[in-house]
Amino acid sequence: MILNRIKSKPIVGFLLDPLGSHARQLTFEDHELTVGAKHAHRLHLRNLAEAPTVTKGLFGSQLSVHADDNSTYLLKGANHLEAMSFAEVVRAQWLVYNRECFEAEAQGITELLRTIDDLSEPKCYPSACMLSPKLELAKDLDRRLLSKLPSAAIEDAAKSKVEKIQAFIGDARARRNEAILKFEKRQLIEWTEFFNTFESNPLTPEQRTSIVADEDATLVLAGAGSGKTSVITAKAGYLLKSETRKPEEVLLLAFARDAAKEMSERIEEKCGEQLEARTFHSLAYDIIGTVEGSKPALAAHATDDKAFLALVRDILSDLVKTATDVSKAIIGWFAYARLEEKSEWDFNQKHAYYTFIEKADLRTLQGEQVKSFEELMIANWLFENGIEYEYEPNYEHKVSEGGFRDYCPDFKLTKSGVYIEHFGVRRKRAADGTYELTTAPFVDQEEYLESMEWKRGVHEEHKTTLIETYSYERQEGRLLEALAEKVTEYEELAPRSPETLFDRVVELKQADSFVQLVGTFLRHYKGGGYHIRECSEKAEKLKLGKRSKAFLTIFEPVYEEYQRRLNGRIDFEDMILRASEYAESKEFVSPFRHILVDEFQDISRSRGRLVKALKAQHSDARVFAVGDDWQSIYRFAGSDINLMRHFGEEFGGVFDGETGVHRTVDLGRTFRSVDQIAHAAKRFVLKNPAQLTKIVIPAGVAEAPALRVVSTFRHDADLKLTQVLGSIPQNLDGEKKTTVLLLGRYRHLAPAGLTGLRRAFPQLDITFKTIHSSKGLEADHVIVLNLFRGRTGFPSEIVDDPLLNMVSPDAEPFENAEERRVMYVALTRARKTVTLMSSASMQSAFVTELLEDPEYGILGEPEFQQENHICGECGGQLLAFPTKDGRFWYRCEHADLCGFSISACSSCGKGFPTRVEGSKLKKCTCGAEYPSCPACENGWLVERNGRYGSFLGCISFPRCKGKMKAMPATLHAKEL
């Protein structure tokens, strides 16, 4: 009996399935199984995971149907013979169907088997993009067919094929990796002559491996002096000579025209093949021309930074004259909005507050430098409103005595003679409703409130008018309003026009830094394809405060006017953006199958977008990038180090469920620096754990100490440089000059007498470069100039404005991350020696780190290494300064704000006595001992003569009145 329909026994079926959740009827017809239940289902034979099964039970048999989506359909209470007959009918048809399908897939199976066999002796690199489609085809075939075929239903030959494909599926990654090793091994042998002769010296094993590696995305980590240009040009030559690609299918990208030209020439010279290396901008311009039929004219300022900044300045000037609201915003920016909204209350130490103030450069519209943000607000309000004033004038009456500084009120209104004192106090309401005045955390509240009363008393006594303003007025948002009410009682306001104020800002050169900020922001904004709303949201996330809102209020109309003035022309940012959009939309059809990128650590988001768009057009396209994240020093120009750190995520392929598939090859070997320099530079840069770890194999072994620190003071820096140059050995052959590279963090650090130094040392080839412009250069000896701590020191404290974070990659959390890489670049320019010219009084944090860790092997000059001494007044550092007689004196680093200074040890004239633990003595390195001053932190007592005879007084007298009776046993030195 052959059945193609089966039902449950009516009563038994109901009893076994009273809710009707299972099938009551199954019908099979035309390769399709229909399940009759509450909700009918249709299953084609292709959707069955296996043939139906029958289980005999006490009250009838159960027929089970398993689908390939893991669902199961049951029919309970069926007649056993009928169930067996039905199952056999379906099983027979299922087997026939699958056998026919197997035969229908014969061609695909044959190709799969060929691919699997080829992995044993791969003829090309088994990249993810080439092998992944085959693996996915195998998985799909197995899911649809192979896994469903009963072994008894197919012949042994077919069974062997199935097993081979399934084995490949189960071990695809390992097989691919094994095939990669086999391919590379064979290629390295086959192309030995090419690798031996491409350069004057044979390529290293690491360079050869990087050239034959051909993953979807390959990143070559090329450390300083590792021969990256050789690698990228040899890679292009290898692709062409092996006929892997045609010239038109290879895109070679460089950042500068000179680098592109050099690579093109080397490829033609070494390989006899013409391949034009391109810059990103020339490529983008050609893409635009191809799509649009012609190339739009380039804006005149696109290639001229000075012209670009002049345009931005003109736009700001015109907006001041024509747009009232924008005009107010621009003037408000220079008056107060440009600064971070911080006050004394945001700091726990004077030192931290003073450091903030010095970096902020609180210069008023009148030109003087003030000591707080609130004083700046007051001064600029007075200037804006045409009220003549003096800042910190001498009080018209002599009121100070006892060696104290003359009384200088904060402001004096010139016309009326009224004084203004701004008091740094806030207030809080007490329980009885009265107010209590408080001071900043680091201020002695009692002493400060006493000084307030003293000043009030002085003005009352001498009948001079005093206007008082308070920090709490700013806290309450009414400082300038309150100031206006108080001042207008005595003077009439005569507001200056916005044009006048802007001209004043330009005259004081305060506009220059803002123009630079707006220009940089504009380029990043366009290059990244940002929108104002995105910037606002990011500013809020980064907690950039009102300052960001004030900036965007100005930037938006500036940007709109800038775009209008382009008048149909384009700038470099337009080039990259428009080309990326054309590549993404495929309006530009890319011929490129291999994209080779030089100096990859400098790539920006917009350039990365263009590379990804070109790669995405072809399933077999590859990216080959050469770079060194340790030399990524152009964040200010838009480079995003994260594109290199997350290279696989950004450019990698997909294989066997794994995303971001890529290959990293570490060149490791440097042809430049000796071991001491190479290892020290590596150790230094890897202090930042976010940097990619690389192997470093030095060019040779140093025969003498290769790194040293020479400490200098301002007065002897030139002499010390001359001495260092004089100690450099000449080349023995005499034919070639010894090269010396002088490096500075900034251009202004170039030695004034460079021409004279060249005349004085004719055997040396001496050049000066900034560290940034020295990238790619090398010399026998490197001298890094002016390593001191400070705003324009090294590491530089002129950090990127936080506002740029709205249009920049996220800032790195590691302190001085990019400055550390700048230092690495400086160190690795040298072949034989590096000399760091350090400031003895303001030693760079980098120099301190290098000297304190013996692993660096830095040779220092102990006699000139000054210990760090802390200013007892503010917590800053005391800096040592030599005097003409060869002695020293120490001054607080915050000279203008703190002003503390103290003489050196009275015995030796150089050292700084420090407290002996567990005693009341201070001892100098020369051995002299002094009683500690009981009244101040830094002072010590020396013998003095007064009207009542000799006594011990503080070395800092009259600033400090600390003293004690003189006792012969305690006298250790006498002040001269």
Residues annotated in a binding site for ATP: 222-229
Residue 840: which residues within 8 A CB-CB, separation 6 or more? 711, 712, 713, 864, 865, 866, 880
Tokens read off for 895: 């000279």
Instruction: List Cβ<8 Å contacts ≥24 apart for 5-9.
Output: 5/86, 6/63, 6/75, 6/78, 6/79, 6/82, 6/83, 6/86, 7/75, 7/78, 8/60, 8/75, 8/76, 8/77, 8/78, 9/60, 9/77, 9/78, 9/79
Residue 96: which residues within 8 A CB-CB, separation 6 or more? none
Cα–Cα distance for residue pair 384/473, rounded to 1 Å: 20
Cα–Cα distance for residue pair 283/251, rounded to 1 Å: 9
Strands 738-744 vs 278-279: parallel, antiparallel or unpaired: unpaired
Tokens read off for 314: 């003109």
CA nearest to 128, candidates 858, 784, 661, 625 = 661
* Amino acid letter, residue 343: S
**CA 293 to chain centroid:** 39
At residue 573, the 3 state secondary structure works out as helix
At residue 784, the 3 state secondary structure works out as strand
Cβ neighbours, 10 Å, residue 657: 9
Place of tokens 């950004």: 650
* Amino acid letter, residue 559: Y
**What Cα–Cα distance (Å) separates residue 2 from each residue in 85, 90, 549?**
6, 11, 82
Cα–Cα distance for residue pair 617/619, rounded to 1 Å: 7
- Rg of the chain on CA atoms, in Å: 40
Cα–Cα distance for residue pair 311/299, rounded to 1 Å: 11
Cα–Cα distance for residue pair 893/742, rounded to 1 Å: 27
Contact 952, 946 (CB under 8 A): no
Tokens read off for 716: 């002897």
CA nearest to 652, candidates 89, 299, 129 = 129
Tokens read off for 453: 């009363």
